[in-house]
Structure 1
Amino acid sequence: MKRRVLALVSVGVAIILLLGAMFWLIQRDGTAGGQGNATTAAGEAVQDEASSPRNQSSPIEPRLPNEESFARVAESASLILWADAETGHFKAESKNSGNVWRSFPEPAYWGDETTSGVWRSNLLSPVMLEYIDASSSKSQTKLTNWMEERGVLEFEELDDGFRATYHFKSTGFKIPVEVALRGDYVEVKIIDGGITEEALSLLNLKAYPMFGSQPSIDKKGYLLLPDGSGALARFDENRSNDKSVYREPVYGSDLAFYNEVTNRSEVKMPVFGLKSGEQSFLGVLTEGEEYAKLFAAPAGSLGNGNWITAEWQYRIKFFQSTDRRGVEGFYTFSKERFEAAERSVRYYLLEGEDVGYPAMAAKFRDYLIQERGLQRLPSGDGDIPFFADIVAADLKQGPLWDDYIVGTTTGEAERMLRELTDAGIGSITAIYHGWQRYGYSSHGGLLPADRRIGGNKGLESLANTAGELGGKLLLAANYSLNNSGRGGFWSLNDGLRNLAGTLLYQPLPAKEEDVPIVSPLYSFREALDDLPEYGKLGVDGILFTGGIGSSLNTDFNSRNRATRSEVLDGQQAVLAATADGIGYAAAENASFYSLPDISHIHRIADDYSYDIFVDEAVPFAQIALHGLVTYTSEWGNLRDEYRSDYLKSVEYGAYPAYVFTAAASGAFKKAYSVWYYSMNYKDWIDVAAEQYERLNEALRDVQDAFIVDHATLAPGVKKTVYENGQTVIVNYNAEPYQGDGYVVGASDFAIRKVDIRKEGKAYE
């Protein structure tokens, strides 16, 4: 009996405990608005509070942020940074004027926006991205954005700004972004280490793409593109029929991947900008820029506003060959994404009267000095430098084997320098090309110099003569190609390979030959090994003419594998070692990552690519560089438009450069690489001396001076103002230009020692 009673008591206690537990669970799940795994009225599961940060937002709808909900998150001497914890959008406000730069479209004009579909939410969203389903060979790239997916946001305030982590609900991406206010700029940084992917693969993303965007209300507003020397796309609300956009990789394309063929100049500067009214911004990509493209959309192409931004690349399409010849195959994307420790862009904010491209270039110059370590050129009262490119030799097809063409021996080069000096040309920097064995078309194993043009002894003598005449001798060197096999090069082991493992070549059309492209790491080793030998020759420096200092390629050769970032670091190391070991490093049409290790940029771009929506070229690069490094434009005897290109070198502050041979111009008519037919120096010496004298007038007193202004005074009339007050006015017209108290002749220039910014408003 007692046992039965005890059993009943035990069952009763168990039932009571079970009912209590069920009641506690019901109470827990029914509180806090139905958290846990409860379902909302919309049928969407809400994450459990214990597994989700308390600062995570609710799913967002595509909309403009409510500016009344913005909170102050940082402050500097001149700016206030405001942020919206619901969207992660921000705005920077000037303390002086109250001007505002927003990371989203201007609310006052959003009602006029006609774009619909996903692109409408793209314009509203703080983050948009492209992705692909890599598990399917038939998958197509798709575009999405955080607002379109009704994503959620983790928001956290930092000491100088905030961190916003965007959760994409449908695709599963998580993108962490940090925004900070630092003095006169706002920095937007993508944290690659915090990006997560699920089943889909991230291709690229844009963070706050609409920052500073403006409709075409201000007819004097424009986008600044890093095309050539710099180009302006002026605001035009009637461009609605033109859907063109600008989308180009920073520092040029990467041969290891698929590249769209365009006629645009390579992007050498990691900058962009936008001006509207009395405010503007300059964007400078400062970290991870080798994995970025610049994207610009004039009004009417993608929305009613003009906008420009960085597009960060994580995967690029490549051709997967299925045969040994590399002809058959298909396009796909890499499985591994590009990783950079950080990807950042600074938005320098400008306001007032000086907010145009000259002010943007000045701000970029400040960045190069303060952050990249460039220094002002030494002051002096000597003549400007004259750059004489001298071609030693090349090859052409002969009846049985290649014939060797002698253009200029070292002895002839010495006589040339003396004659140029006697003609009145001073401070000559001679650059000797094609001095290696078999000349200009022979690549790899450059040293020793070919005996037929004087050998190493001849180079030593030429270097001595250049120095005695008050100049320098540079040797031109291309380490990116090897068709000789010299130096132990074997393309299978040491050639550049794309992601499919295919060896890459550069055509030499005149010879019907494909020249192997060298693995960057191999080229670095070869260049560094040659430095002691260059030092023994007594030359003053090296001009790198291919690869090093100008272009970046990822290498998938297993023996020399290198990422684009590693190739950039390696090039900088070679340039620095050259400057330290020899004394002078230069590069042809250099990319700006080569600064400050180079002292000279040879044949820098001074035009733009003539896109249908681009209006004019401007000397943005030259304004930023003048007084910090020397630079030249195209060779004077190979100009497309002889007189106007000469005047442009005056306007842009570029030093004169010519390419010469001692041989008759027709000697290279059938050469494999040197296709220039007007090079005999005796044909050009008088013209070169005359132009040098005029350029010396314009630039002698401003060699170390910064350019502080540049503008159009009238159609075809430009002015360039230096910080010491010297002003150069260039008239491209066939008729004289009448200024206030001065006249500039037709197709000519004039020099004034006063600052004409005070003499009237520039032509608009």
Structure 2
Amino acid sequence: MRRISKKLKLSALAVVVGTTLVTLQSGPLLNAAENTPAANAPAASTNANAPAAGQGAQAPAQAAAPTAAQQAAAQKEMLDESKFQVMAENANFKLWVDSTTAHFKLEDKRSGQVLRSYPDPEQWPNETITGTWRNNLRSPVMLEYIDMANYKSQPKIISWMEDKGTLEGFQKTADGFKVTFNFAGTQFKIPVEVKLTTDYVETKIIDKDIKEGKLSLLNLKLYPLFGAQPSLGQDGYMVLPDGSGALIHFKPNRTNDKSVYRENMYGNDISFFVERTNRQKVTMPVFGMKSGSQAFVSVITAGEEYSKLFASPAGAFGTYNWVTPEWQYRIKFFQNTSKKGSAGFYTYSKQMYTTEQRAVRYYMLEPAKADYVGMASKYREYLMKEKGLKPIKPESTKVPFFLDILGADLKEGLLWDKYLKGTTTSEAMEMVKRLYGLGIENMAIQYSGWQNGSYSSYGGLFPVDKRLGGNDGMKQFIDYAHSLKIPVLLNANYSYNNTNGDGFSPRYDGSRNLAGRLLQEENFNNRAKITLVSPKFSAKTLAKDLEKYKQLGADGLFFEDGTGRFLNSDFNDRYKTNRTESMGVQQEMLKEAKETLGHVSIDRPNFYGISNITHLHRLPQDYSYDLFVDESIPFAQIALHGLVTYTSNWSNLRDQYQGEFLRSIEYGAYPSFIFTNSKSGDMKGAYSIWYYSMNYRDWEAKAVEEYQRFNQALGDVQDKAIIGHRTLAPNVMETEYEGGKKVIVNYNAQQYTNGSLKVPAQDFIVVTGGKTS
């Protein structure tokens, strides 16, 4: 149930501005707020594929293939690995370090494989890049800065080597080393630590000890070419957390393509300037690279809220493929000089945003697991060890059927708003009874639009609207659902307020951007203002409401369009929260809800809340279709299956019905429908709900049929991990679970045949113990 206006219905419409592909993103109000002058500034085109600010002025030059003399000179540029010293060692790894540059290499004692923090010396003589970027690629640190005292100053990039940097305080530690990179010319000092464990090597930036001279730090990349490899026609790819996961395959013909991937971790912060792209949000702080039989996966474990993910395919910046976090310290914003917000200028925050630390773990994978499945499995281990996720315990041999029920919404009337009734609590009872009787027994219900006023009423949620049955009607419905062992979660939105409920005052309790401007969204239909709520006010309101949910018997909350999904700073002086603090506030809200009620569901969540999420609703199962990104993979689903439940889009609202059904089967997602008791089309003109085909009677036969197919594929592997995923033939995919069960999906219009194996067109089969079904 999205807050979707006509303006946002243009979700699939792409507008070309110069060389920039700008997409009006579908989804909630918060996405809309990102694209309005009220939230930030007048529309400004941004090249989604461009390098960071300032990089365009220093575009790397690509030369012809190097001569023998040039190759010999290039060899001399590389580090002499014979002079490296062992800084730490354990049963699995050795950490070798060069004390003149603080570059290091990680040696796997079991396989003999090596990962380096610098370009592979054997391949470096073939590097064709020239100019300052030749030093940048060999440098352990590169950063971007600006002279804030000069209003005409533009961002510039400098690397430690290019700036003729030195090392300060190089010191061996119990499990690695620490050092400060001193930039001689620009006078920046960047303290770092590198630590080795039996499972990974970790790099860490100590923010509190960073020093600036007269210049201001914007962002930096630490050991950006860790594990980097040229293409050379080898079997390799970079793994990005784009959507469900995506691959950039190694290709040698990218020399004329300067496109890079550069996206905010956990999405944009609407209190600052928003770079518009057509990409899906990055929700997982993880990335990786495979090169032949060697692979690593990286997890950003601290400070990721102030980072971007930067990936450079071969040919963009050198012949190497490399991917790294770009740590953000100052953020661009629009300073208004008029009340309407249309006049002003772009600048950077004076304050340097710091976190306690910024850390990345690099896990080197065994050769037998050197692929994206191995990377996702390692991330799964991390989620279990570090975030507390545990295998679920299915209560039924049938998969859960996630049923979203819509209560009511509003429509503009002649004199006052018209109440559009979708499903009363008594009608919801009949709906559940009917579906249960048809064989959909293991349901999980999320009830939205129940609040006082309707789905489009934010703030002062209680009591349940009496036109739907009031508190008593909701309690009776939940009691009935419980008699069938069906949990009921209530939709809870604490991120917006347009009613002034809960004692909310837009002036005092609304979120503000860095320029001090109140963050509001305008409803397309009636031009009414909807204010974004300060996160700390949201937390205070939720704490007061939890007991009310408990009294109704609710089993949990379904957070949507805010908490757990969007991460924004707030510059309201009463509730000021930076991005780190805002993340902490949300995590605490999710924790309180889970501890009080038992369950927490979030629509398309960021993974910073994963410890307290029991269901991920409408988890992406696709990628952003950048021209240089090659394919989608179920990275998130491989990491999560058997630990938490997840769905893809509602079945009755798919764009490509059969194809998306098969993708859900392939990715191990569970069925989900959004239903009303009202006739299809009755919500036409609603402020927020623009979905028409929701009448459950129109869909019940299809829902039953689809539920049976989901059970065939997934019923007996609900608590099993995905241990294999591969392409058998073009558009034929195989997913394997613990225990050996395989699900083979054929997206083609013709039957797939391989020996005795036959998969019907546009269908799937299950293989268990060598037998198909």
Q: Normalising by structure 2, what TM-score?
A: 0.89
Summarize the alignment of residues 511-522 of structure 1 with structure 2, pairs less than 5 Å apart.
511-522=526-537
Deviations 1:139-161 (Å, cap 9, x if unpaired)? 11010010001111122111111
User: What is the aligned residue count?
Assistant: 696
Per-residue Cα deviation, 1:561-592 (whole angstroms, up to 9, x for no partner):
01111111111111111111011111111111
**1:140 counterpart = 2:154:** yes
1:656 corresponds to which residue? 671
Does residue 250 of structure 1 match 2:265? yes
Alignment pair present for 1:390 and 2:405: yes
Q: How far is the alpha carbon of 1:716 from its aligned partner?
A: 0.5
State how far apart, in whole Å, the 2-side matches of 1:610 and 1:409 are: 41
Structure having the higher Rg: 1
Do the aligned partners of 1:721 and 1:755 also contact (CA within 8 Å) in 2? Answer: no
- Separation in 2 of the partners of 1:139 and 1:62? 36
The match for 1:7 is none
Please name the residue that 1:44 is paired with.
Answer: none
CA distance in 2, matches of 1:455, 1:382: 35
Corresponding residue number in structure 2 for 1:94: 108
Residue of structure 1 equivalent to 2:143: 129
Q: Does 1:163 align with 2:178?
A: yes
Q: Which amino acid aligns with 1:638?
A: L
The 1:62–1:340 alpha-carbon spacing in structure 2 relative to 1, beyond 3 Å, is farther
Aligned with residue 623 of structure 1, among 638, 660, 663: 638
Q: In 1, Cα distance between the equivalents of 2:423 and 2:556? A: 20
Alignment of 1:114-263 (within 5 A): 114-154=128-168, 155-263=170-278
2-structure distance, mates of 1:498, 1:740: 62
> What SS does structure 2 have at the residue aligned with 1:546?
coil
Counterpart residue type for residue 507 of structure 1: E
For 1:108, what is the secondary structure of its paired residue?
coil
Distance in 2 (CA, whole Å) between partners of 1:669 and 1:220 is 51
CA distance in 1, matches of 2:527, 2:243: 30
C-alpha separation in 2, matches of 1:716 and 1:593: 33
- Determine if contact 1:388/1:659 at 8 Å carries over to the other structure: yes
Identity, % of aligned positions: 52
Q: What amino acid does structure 2 have at the position aligned with 1:88?
A: A
Alignment correspondent of 1:422: 437
**Structure-1 separation of matches of 2:681 and 2:730:** 40
Aligned pair partner of 2:721 in 670, 693, 706: 706
Aligned counterparts of 2:154 and 2:122: Cα–Cα separation in 1: 37
Which of 641-650 and 150-159 deviates more? 150-159
Tell me, yes or no, if structure 1 residue 532 matches structure 2 residue 547.
yes
Q: Does 1:322 align with 2:337?
A: yes
Q: Do the aligned residues in 2 keep the contact of 1:62 with 1:147 (CA within 8 Å)? A: no
- The 5 Å alignment of 1:401-416 reads 401-416=416-431
Give SS of 1:111's match.
Answer: helix
1:33-70 deviation digits (Å, cap 9, x = unpaired): xxxxxxxxxxxxxxxxxxxxxxxxxxxx9943221111
SS at match of 1:295: strand
- Deviation for aligned residue 1:323: 1.3
Distance apart, 1:465 and its partner CA: 1.5
Question: Residue by residue, what CA displacement relative to the aligned partner does 1:78-128 show, whole Å, maximum 9, x if unpaired?
Answer: 111100000000000111221110100111111121212221111010000
The structural deviation recorded for 1:511 is 2.9
Aligned-residue offset at 1:400: 1.3
Q: Tell me, what secondary structure is at the counterpart of 1:311?
A: strand
Match of 2:598 in 1: 583
Partner of 1:47: none
**Matched-pair contact (CA < 8 Å) for 1:387–1:430:** yes
**Aligned equivalents of 2:555, 2:571: Cα separation in 1:** 35
Task: Provide the C-alpha distance between the structure 1 equivalents of 2:487 and 2:725, rounded to a whole number of angstroms.
Answer: 32
Q: Is the 8 A contact 2:141 2:221 kept in 1?
A: yes
Q: Give the aligned residue type for 1:571.
A: Q
8 Å CA contact retained: 2:228, 2:323: yes
Gaps of 5+ in 2: 1-74
Report the CA distance between 1:732 and its aligned residue: 0.5
Q: State the Cα deviation string for residues 244-274 of structure 1 (Å, max 9, x = none).
A: 1001111111111111001111111000000
Q: Does the alignment pair 1:66 with 2:80?
A: yes
* Comparing 687-696 and 151-160, the one that deviates more: 151-160
SS across alignment from 2:611: coil
- Report deviation, 1:379: 4.5
Selected match of 1:553 from 565, 568, 576: 568
Do the aligned partners of 2:295 and 2:367 also contact (CA within 8 Å) in 1? no
Distance 1:523 1:408, change over 3 A: same
> What letter is aligned with 2:769?
V
Alignment correspondent of 1:84: 98
Asked if the contact 2:239–2:288 (Cα under 8 Å) also holds between the matched residues in 1, the reply is yes
Shift of 1:739: 3.1
Q: What is the identity, as a one-letter code, of the residue corresponding to 1:339?
A: T
- Residue 682 of structure 1 pairs with residue 697 of structure 2: yes
CA–CA distance in structure 1, aligned partners of residues 412 and 258 of structure 2: 48
1:300-322 residue CA offsets vs partner (Å, 9 max, x unmatched): 01110100001111010011111
| CA distance in 2 between partners of 1:514 and 1:654 (Å) | 37
Q: Deviations over 1:389-444 (max 9, x none)?
A: 11110011111111110011111111000111111112111111111122111111
The structural deviation recorded for 1:241 is: 2.0
What CA deviation, in whole Å up to 9, does each residue of 1:6-33 have, x standing for no partner?
xxxxxxxxxxxxxxxxxxxxxxxxxxxx
Q: Quote the Cα distance in structure 2 between the aligned partners of 1:381 and 1:413.
A: 23
> Does the CA contact (< 8 Å) of 2:519 and 2:531 recur in 1?
yes
Q: Read off the aligned partner of 2:463 and give its amino acid letter.
A: P
Cα 1:755/1:526, change in 2 over 3 Å: farther
d(CA) in 1 for partners of 2:426 and 2:470?
11
Post-superposition CA distance 1:269-290 (Å, at most 9, x none):
0000000010101010001111
The separation in 1 between residues aligned to 2:522 and 2:138, in whole angstroms, is 46
The AA in structure 1 aligned to 2:213 is E
Q: Which moved more, 1:215-224 or 1:340-349?
A: 215-224
Question: Which 10-residue stretch deviates more, 698-707 or 236-245?
Answer: 236-245
- With the length of structure 1 as denominator, give the TM-score of the two structures: 0.90
| Contact 1:651–1:718 (Cα < 8 Å) also in 2 | yes
1:640 CA displacement: 1.3
Which one of 479, 484, 487 corresponds to residue 499 of structure 2? Answer: 484
User: Superposed, which structure 2 residues align to 1:609-648 within 5 Å?
Assistant: 609-648=624-663
Question: Displacement of 1:381 after TM fit?
Answer: 4.5
Secondary structure at the aligned position of 2:279 is classed as coil
* Aligned-partner Cα distance in 1 for 2:439–2:526: 40
Q: How far apart are residue 382 of structure 1 and its match?
A: 2.7
Partner of 1:112: 126
